[in-house]
Amino acid sequence: MDPTRLLRAPYGPRFGRGVRQEPSMKRRTFIALVSGSFLAAPLAAEAQQAGRVWRIGHLDGTSPMARAALLTAFKDRLQEMGYAPSQYVLDSRYAEGDDARLAELAADLIRGKPDVIITAGPQPAFAAARATTTIPIVFIGVGDPVGTGLVPSLARPGGNITGVTLVTVELARKRLDLLGDAVPAADALPFSGTRRTP
């Protein structure tokens, strides 16, 4: 096959060898318009939501002072991801150490119709999960979300709840094994924790 013929193209199989096919501008124009509209549709949808202000609910069992550094890091990360402070409202509720208030605070938070709820710790996560099955909930700081029944599995948390955990029963055992290998002479290890936080 002569490669220079490809550059002179367009040739079509239905016209036979060496017969020039008339350019089909109408078809190409149609394809370009349809393709362009499909490609532009998501941009139009994004442009419609550009002025939207996202509502982020935050439910916490501690105090504003205790979570100041965490919330600053969260806001900084939102900024890095392109969300200016004018594009979201962070609506926080704090139980100030009184877990009995969490259910009431979660209900109050949900009345504000947040787009997502973030929680820190197991009790706030459970309170949010009991208060709504439709608003997405993202938790951090839950030691064993599967063992406590917050989610059915880490791989598929299901429902409207997901999150990040660094301390699971399996990992705790592994960490103790690694520590035992690193310091074989240690026969006792100090542990700090509360019964309140699984």
* Whole-number Cα distances in Å, 49 to 54, 84, 108, 117: 10, 14, 26, 20
> How do the pLDDT tens digits run along the chain, 198 residues long?
555 544 444 444 555 555 555 554 455 554 544 444 455 445 444 544 567 899 999 999 999 999 899 899 999 999 999 889 999 999 999 999 999 999 999 999 999 999 999 998 899 999 999 999 999 999 988 888 888 889 998 888 889 999 888 766 667 777 778 888 888 887 777 766 666 555
95-123 burial code (b ≥16 CB/10 A, e <16):
beeeeebbbebbeebbeeebeebbbbbbb
**Domain 53-170 carries which CATH code?**
3.40.50.2300
Q: What percent of the chain has pLDDT over 70?
A: 68
Quick one: pLDDT at residue 37?
Answer: 47
Q: Is the pTM of this model over 0.75?
A: no
Q: Report domain extents, the chain.
A: 53-170
